[in-house]
Amino acid sequence: MDSSFTVAYNIAGTLGGNHTIEFKFPFDVSLVHVSLSNSTTTDATVDIGYTGATAAYLSAAAVGDSEVAAELKPADFVGGASPHILKSTNIIVSIDYDGSGGTAADDFCIVMTFTPG
């Protein structure tokens, strides 16, 4: 039985600034997959980490372009493996809406897949 689960976040419309998503789990988890998309050609990037190390798990990942999602697997994560995240860790997803001053993301979506334990 597959016990993986997803956390998804969507932002409709053109992003006018950076966004931050923060959440915690009441049990240990491992991040095993990330999908990033938007509806235009963009320079937006995403970091995933925790308080004090906001890019500890994923660093400056490019967002998919023109409704073609970017798919990130453990080999793409910092350290090349699925990070083990202890319960009650403040997980932080940082969205740089236009990368280094490029084109802003539009209709942004992130789906993160976790496994418990």
**Per-10-residue mean pLDDT, the chain, length 117:** 91 95 98 96 96 97 92 97 98 94 93 97
For 9-38, letters b (16+ CB in 10 Å) and e give: eebeebbeeebebeeebeeebbbebbbbbb
| CATH number at 5-116 | 2.60.120
Quote the pLDDT of residue 1.
Answer: 57
Quote the pLDDT of residue 101.
Answer: 81
E-state strands within 1-117: 5-14, 19-23, 29-37, 45-50, 53-62, 70-72, 84-85, 91-96, 106-116
